[in-house]
Amino acid sequence: MTSTPGTTAVPLPGTNAPAARYTGPRLRYLVLVLLAFGTFVNYLDRINLTVGATHIQAEFGISDAAWGIALSAFGWTYALMQVPGGLVMDRFGVTWVGRVCSWAWVVATFLTATVSGFLPLLALRLLLGVAEAPAFPMASTATSYWFPVRERGLATASFDMTSKLSNAIGVPLVAVVVATWGWRAAFIATGALSVVYAVAFWVIYRNPDRHPRLTPVEAQYIAEGGAQQSETQVSQPSPMSYLVRQRKLWAIALTLAAYNYTFFLYLTWLPTYLEREMGLDVKGSGLYSAIPWLVGTVTAVLIGGVAIDRLIRDGRDPSRVRKTFLAVGLLLGMAVIGATTATTAAVAVVWISVSLGGVCIASAVIWSLPGLIAPPGAVGRVSSMMAFVGNLSSIAAPMVTGFVVQATGSFTWAFVTAGGVVGLGLLSALVMLGRIEQLPAAGAQA
């Protein structure tokens, strides 16, 4: 393969031949910063309810079981809209789906600051779930368009890690806002950040084949490196009826479900757990909660991104590398069970940090898989189908935890359940996934 000025030869996708360093333009990294910022803001919008839980429950007289329903409501519409969202994204593209949805979640966030009871709060969480449903499939799809295969690990880890960074940074900051100005002020502050992202996305994002600032040099590098074709370049993407028969899709969907269960347990209940069982106040729980999220941010980028890309560039088999890191991450995720033995906040945070650090490694791998296994033009469909199944557990985790805590008076069995679910995800990855490689288009099998 020949190279043009500013580029280097790129190995064929799926090979383990070492590749030389690229030295040309890097518009794709501006796009990646935009996607990562979107994920960061997206998750800030979600943690407001978690951090303000004690205050909101007290103001509206909401029980633990009802609060679990409120926390899970976001996940109902978030999961329900995944498959339709994927079809819409493959039809109309990342650009317009991202524009419309980012403004919709601005509205939902600002309106939440005005609610006067449980039912309006529930309704706005449902709306937020609709608005933010395409966020991760959109980022995964855009990354598959903009990045060659050998850079996909770091690219995926970068937008994935900001969902953890938003908790590491956002939880203590939102806790300070809630403690100082009240829980409504937190929704106003994150709503303002959402406006910044919505404007930035409208101005900056286009697919590679439509971006006026993408140079021919970088476009060639992206295409030759195995990037997926965008929806405007594929006339007949594989239908959903074909995709749902693929074992690989179900394997990654079930593995995401296992990750999501633990992730949403921590996202929705961790501050409450530290306040109730470890005796911390709202500021203290916010600071302690930030530690596991910071660990998850670091492991997602350095291990789930940099380390994987480095091993693949050095000639290791890409499928084996990704599957190994996926399995190790899920195994570490089962450390949540160890938190049941903790008697101090510090010990609890150590166990939870190991668990969250592990599943964040797995998450960085999982979200790279749709762009690696999807047939041409079907990344949105594969991402959304994976997200639909995976996010059923984002509904279950807050609700199950709420009912378990109310029934038992502690988080012990909630943590044991989470460890068991992660174990099932590990089994799915090891038994069902097989080799990580692109599926043939519908009708293309020999």
27-85 pLDDT per residue, tens? 899 999 999 999 888 888 777 887 888 888 888 888 877 887 887 788 788 888 877 87
Range scoring the smallest mean pLDDT among 82-96, 222-236, 429-443: 222-236
Round the average pLDDT of the chain to a whole number and report it.
84
Structure tokens at 184: 């409504």
Given a cut of 60, whether residue 4 has pLDDT beyond it is no
Measured between alpha carbons, how far is 242 from 286 in angstroms, rounded to an integer? Answer: 45
Measured between alpha carbons, how far is 351 from 353 in angstroms, rounded to an integer? Answer: 5
The arithmetic mean of pLDDT across residues 180-201, rounded, is 91
pLDDT band with cut points at 50, 70 and 90 for residue 446: very low
Percent of residues, the chain, with pLDDT higher than 90: 26
Full DSSP string of 73-102: HHHHHHHHTHHHHHHHHHHHHHHHHHHHHH
Torsion of CA 27, 29, 31, 33, to 10 degrees: -140
Which pLDDT score, from 0 to 100, does residue 6 have?
46
Q: How many CB atoms lie within 10 A of CB 17?
A: 11
Which pLDDT score, from 0 to 100, does residue 188 have?
92
**C-alpha distance across the termini of the chain, in Å:** 27
Measured between alpha carbons, how far is 139 from 363 in angstroms, rounded to an integer? Answer: 14
pLDDT band with cut points at 50, 70 and 90 for residue 350: very high
Given a cut of 90, whether residue 201 has pLDDT beyond it is yes
Given a cut of 70, whether residue 167 has pLDDT beyond it is yes
Measured between alpha carbons, how far is 263 from 257 in angstroms, rounded to an integer? Answer: 10
CA distances from 90 to 85, 97, 205, 366, 391 (A): 9, 10, 16, 20, 20
Given a cut of 70, whether residue 169 has pLDDT beyond it is yes
Measured between alpha carbons, how far is 198 from 193 in angstroms, rounded to an integer? Answer: 9
Which pLDDT score, from 0 to 100, does residue 13 have?
43
Which pLDDT score, from 0 to 100, does residue 236 have?
63
Given a cut of 90, whether residue 282 has pLDDT beyond it is no
Which pLDDT score, from 0 to 100, does residue 251 have?
93
Which pLDDT score, from 0 to 100, does residue 22 have?
63
Q: Is residue 47 within 8 Å of residue 95, measured between CB atoms?
A: no
Where does 244-377 have alpha helices with state H?
247-276, 282-301, 308-313, 318-333, 345-366, 369-373
Nearest residue to 200 (alpha-carbon basis) of 30, 27, 380, 28: 30
Q: Is residue 428 within 8 Å of residue 251, measured between CB atoms?
A: yes
- Using a cut of 0.85, tell me whether the model's pTM lies above it: no
Q: What are phi and psi of 293, to 5 degrees?
A: -70, -35
Torsion of CA 161, 165, 166, 170, to 10 degrees: 170
Which pLDDT score, from 0 to 100, does residue 347 have?
93
Q: Is residue 225 within 8 Å of residue 208, measured between CB atoms?
A: no
pLDDT band with cut points at 50, 70 and 90 for residue 21: low
Measured between alpha carbons, how far is 124 from 115 in angstroms, rounded to an integer? Answer: 9
Nearest residue to 261 (alpha-carbon basis) of 362, 160, 347: 362
Question: How do residues 351-385 score in pLDDT, each as one tens digit?
Answer: 999 999 999 999 989 988 888 888 877 777 888 88
Measured between alpha carbons, how far is 181 from 194 in angstroms, rounded to an integer? Answer: 20
pLDDT band with cut points at 50, 70 and 90 for residue 337: very high
